Structure 1
Amino acid sequence: MTLTHRSNLTVFAMVALGLCGAASAAAAQESSFGCAGLEQSSLVRAEEGKDGVFYRVATDLTMGQIINHRAADAVARIARALEEQGTTLIFAPVPTKGQAMPEDLPSKFVTTGYDVEKARAEYAVSIENLRASGVVTADLLTRMLDTFDPAEVAKYGTENTPLFFRSDYHWTSEGARRAARAVADQIVEHPGYGDLTPSSYQTRQVGELEGFSNMRRAMQRQCREPLPEVETLGFETNADTTPEQDDAGPLDIFADAEEQSQVVLLGTSFSDNPTNNFAGWISQYSGLEVLNYAVTGGGQYGALISYLTSQDYLEQRPRFIVWENPIYTDLLQFGTGPVEELTAAASAACSDPLKVTATSETLEAELGGATFDTDDAILARFGSEGPRNAEFTLVTTDGVSRRYFSNRDDRLRATGNFWLGLGPYVDLPIESIKVAFDRPIPNGASLSLCPNFGE
């Protein structure tokens, strides 16, 4: 009997389905924790590797996560604006768990097409693109994979500490230590470091620390046995001055000194995590005070928006800003709006107050059909902290309205300062601008023109 082409496909499909079913059953049987269906979970898609190490499918085991030239240029715009104000931006892209800790990957995993060496090469391309755009960039992955200072590793008792938690995607204190060394290298090698007076910092162990993990909690629902705890050896870093100051607590505070801040750390939960001492490790290796303004759950730009739009930045600009950001986040996910606002906020060049008509709900200024350049912006200043939303409405001379909505979610600091970059509205004759906040407008609220902020 001769099988037709259709029959061949049918048989192949049946065999394939059978193999997939067998593979799924085998995967469930091979789980050390009785886990099933993690790869298809609606909470967190994950793969169970060796020794109880779990990897997220969508980030840790996905190819093509590259900061391309366009995204690198966006970071460079913010960096140039900061540099004009005497602040050097150091960008620190966090590698994925798959790139930095692949030794525990399962020998056969459901996610196909993942290649460790190619994924590492993609991280290297991201570093190259950022540096080609003029951004001072810390290569965290190279430092994390380096076997530097064996004596130092032994000193901190981290010989057997993995770089990332087994059941979570964040780095342990050892992963953070190595990443911080990469950041400190960039700080110390920068010419601006010579303008500062470094101090001596000492780091001491504080015992085992346990962190909370949404990833572990989500995975546990599909596993019979308890998953590995999110635990790491904890550390605390303090300035090595007097015995009284040695007990002052970990170096993770907000700026309140009168002199220029040395280093401000902006980032995500990788920085805003008390179990890893990332800010402290940067101080350990750079000799500089690090003020931590990181925001857990703030996304790509949350910490930058909270800090650069605040009076803390306007009144006391630091010598260095470290921007930690996971490599897998899309810096242009929300278009150019955040970059426009952050570039304008970083330059703080809003010297032209506009004559406004104010009501309890809006501020409005007549612009008389003016046109603007790419590097112009409007600053809407509420006058105090509190508002989380500002709606800008631009009306052209022919009566067409353009609206832009700026939001600060509950995780971010509600500074009351909102910038609208006018780059997307170049050459439009603007008759008027109106701004509405999410609360009644007090006396003292204002609109200002920020000219040529990107130059």
Structure 2
Amino acid sequence: MTWLSTRAGCLVRRAGGPLTLLLGGLGVNAAMAAELPEYEVQPRNRLCQMASHSFAYDTSYLKNFNVLVQGRDGWLFRSEAELPEQFGPSAEGLRHLERFARYLKKSAGSELVLVFQPTKGLVHPDKLADDATVDFSWSYARSSYLDALAKFRQAGLVVPDMTPLLRESDREEAYYFKRDHHWTPYGARRTARIVADRIRQMPVFQSLPTQEFETRRTGLIRKDGSLQDAARRICGQAWPSQYVDEYRTSPGTGVDGDEQSALFGDESLPPITLVGTSNSKGAQDYNFAGALQEFLGVEVLNMAVAGGSYDGSMFEYLMSDSFQESPPEILIWEIPAYHTLDSAEFYRQVVPMISHGCQGREPVLEQTSPVTAGTNEVLYNGGGNFLELSSSEYLIDLQFSDPSVKEVDAFIWYVFGRKDRVDLEYGNRVETTGRFMFELPSGPSWNDELFMSLDLELEPEQVSEGLTVTAKVCRRQDI
């Protein structure tokens, strides 16, 4: 028995008989064809030992893959992002999320639908190898995931039931790519069906105008996965590409142009908006938004941001003219379940964005200042005109003259020497206008604290020549 090596990273075993080369112009008779050898192809790609060590993930890019885990049939997993066993926010984080959803409905009239996408380990536990380098209890992880969905619903959010996706035995295709962190077009479509079924039960949906949408196969997606790229960088080995069908959705023929104009109006925005990650909009389109349109029969505005994490597209959308001038009836938020939604800093920023910060209201304090690299005092509550500004009642609104500013640290000082810090940062792919806003801290230990001053700290790469910032303090609208 002979093993032959191939460049595709496989071992080919010759079952018997001579190795025959067929040339198209020479032909071969039936007897010779019957004697052609058969070959069994076995994958040879396996992660190197280095991939199991955290110190190998030594760049900002590789840290996203800490640590790679070998699966069956050429599958790869990330231990931290795709094999966690606990999900959802803490009790405090859940209260923040509930406050955000409630104020979104009260102020903008938009109902939040949370698509808490199950992880690769929850969906494909059968692809984990018996000798996996990390411990993963699927039953424990499943229980934690279901508990998170239940808590979201108890907090008043609309949360589609994703449990049918877990460990499906009759799945037609893979929900996730073998060696990538995205869902496949099949996974996107399965999810869209579940989300659409839940949205159709919402009372607000009944009043939305509908039309027909059609989905067609348009070709193939070639996926050289992100996980296999990380494996290549660490181990120096190549992996084969994966190919799946590609789909696109477009308005159907059930509604003509005049009728569509009557339904939606030439200038109106769709009544449903989608925000989320590169699963919803990225370099490759898995047609999640399109499938939602097909199953809902309603146009969906896709405002997702690739590389924006769970928060980037929400920041970008809430500060956009699209939201401020025409908020949607339904806001769909697609989030991979490895995000805990626990960040208090996120909610301190996103809640005032709903009501546009200090826009259109008279600030109690305002100052425009030049800023340089390092620490800059940009607001001071004093100078013979001290105002009693209780921390729990006010917010800060910042507008830089250069819209490319995406990162700043804010230090808030109080009358009796107490200090608070907020790290403000937008991803590189998130389009903003140089504007930041955040609530001053609130809660029993902060309610009696009085605002004194605000310092901003910027790194040199964030500072352009002649940079200024206009800083405002105004009263919060959510209380």
TM-score band, normalised by shorter chain:
0.7 to 0.9
Give TM-score, length-normalised by structure 2. 0.74
Partner in structure 2 of residue 303 of structure 1: 313
Task: Give the 5 Å matches for 1:56-455.
Answer: 56-84=78-106, 85-112=108-135, 114-143=136-165, 160-221=172-233, 226-241=238-253, 258-273=267-282, 274-332=284-342, 335-348=343-356, 350=358, 351-361=361-371, 364=379, 366=381, 368-372=386-390, 374=392, 376-382=394-400, 385-398=403-416, 402-424=420-442, 425-433=446-454, 438-439=463-464, 440=466, 445=470, 447-453=472-478, 455=479
Deviation by residue 1:118-174 (Cα, 9 ceiling, x = unmatched): 2222211110011111111122342566689xxxxxxxxxx7421111111211011
* Shift in alpha-carbon separation, 1:67–1:391, aligned structure 2, 3 A: closer
Report % sequence identity: 24
Shift of the alpha carbon at 1:392?
4.1
SS of alignment partner, residue 352 of structure 1:
coil
Partner in structure 1 of residue 52 of structure 2: 39
The one-letter amino acid of 2:351's match is T
Partner in structure 2 of residue 252 of structure 1: none
For the residues of structure 2 that align with 1:244 and 1:192, how far apart are their CA atoms? 25
Shift of the alpha carbon at 1:106?
1.6
- Tell me, yes or no, if the aligned pair for 2:396 and 2:471 is still in contact at 8 Å: no
Give TM-score, length-normalised by structure 1. 0.78
Task: Identify which range, 60-69 or 408-417, moves more after superposition.
Answer: 60-69
For the residues of structure 2 that align with 1:225 and 1:378, how far apart are their CA atoms? 50
Deviation by residue 1:321-350 (Cα, 9 ceiling, x = unmatched): 111111112322xx4111111011123364
Deviation by residue 1:268-302 (Cα, 9 ceiling, x = unmatched): 22222334111111111111222222222222311
* Shift in alpha-carbon separation, 1:349–1:279, aligned structure 2, 3 A: same
* Shift in alpha-carbon separation, 1:363–1:316, aligned structure 2, 3 A: farther
* Shift in alpha-carbon separation, 1:215–1:257, aligned structure 2, 3 A: farther
For the residues of structure 2 that align with 1:419 and 1:435, how far apart are their CA atoms? 13
* Shift in alpha-carbon separation, 1:166–1:257, aligned structure 2, 3 A: farther
- Tell me, yes or no, if the aligned pair for 2:289 and 2:300 is still in contact at 8 Å: yes
Deviation by residue 1:88-143 (Cα, 9 ceiling, x = unmatched): 1111111111111122222332222x222222222111100111111111223425
* Shift in alpha-carbon separation, 1:403–1:147, aligned structure 2, 3 A: closer
Deviation by residue 1:347-401 (Cα, 9 ceiling, x = unmatched): 3364333353323337536472423363642222447844324554544334665
Task: Identify which range, 313-322 or 422-431, moves more after superposition.
Answer: 422-431
* Shift in alpha-carbon separation, 1:397–1:47, aligned structure 2, 3 A: closer
Shift of the alpha carbon at 1:429?
1.6
Greater share of helix residues, 1 or 2?
1
The one-letter amino acid of 1:297's match is G
- Tell me, yes or no, if the aligned pair for 1:96 and 1:328 is still in contact at 8 Å: yes
Deviation by residue 1:175-229 (Cα, 9 ceiling, x = unmatched): 1111111221232111111221021111000111123532111223566874242
- Tell me, yes or no, if the aligned pair for 1:272 and 1:296 is still in contact at 8 Å: yes
For the residues of structure 2 that align with 1:125 and 1:401, how far apart are their CA atoms? 36
SS of alignment partner, residue 374 of structure 1:
helix
For the residues of structure 1 that align with 2:224 and 2:433, how far apart are their CA atoms? 29
Gaps of 5+ in 2: 1-41, 58-64, 258-264, 372-376
* Shift in alpha-carbon separation, 1:139–1:194, aligned structure 2, 3 A: same
* Shift in alpha-carbon separation, 1:449–1:174, aligned structure 2, 3 A: same
Partner in structure 2 of residue 19 of structure 1: none
Shift of the alpha carbon at 1:402?
4.3
SS of alignment partner, residue 271 of structure 1:
coil
Task: Give the 5 Å matches for 1:3-42.
Answer: 32-37=44-49, 38-40=51-53, 42=56
For the residues of structure 2 that align with 1:35 and 1:397, how far apart are their CA atoms? 57
SS of alignment partner, residue 237 of structure 1:
strand
Partner in structure 2 of residue 54 of structure 1: 76
SS of alignment partner, residue 161 of structure 1:
coil
* Shift in alpha-carbon separation, 1:231–1:141, aligned structure 2, 3 A: farther
Larger Rg: 2
The one-letter amino acid of 1:181's match is R
SS of alignment partner, residue 423 of structure 1:
coil
Shift of the alpha carbon at 1:317?
1.0
Shift of the alpha carbon at 1:427?
1.9
For the residues of structure 2 that align with 1:214 and 1:233, how far apart are their CA atoms? 19
* Shift in alpha-carbon separation, 1:356–1:338, aligned structure 2, 3 A: same
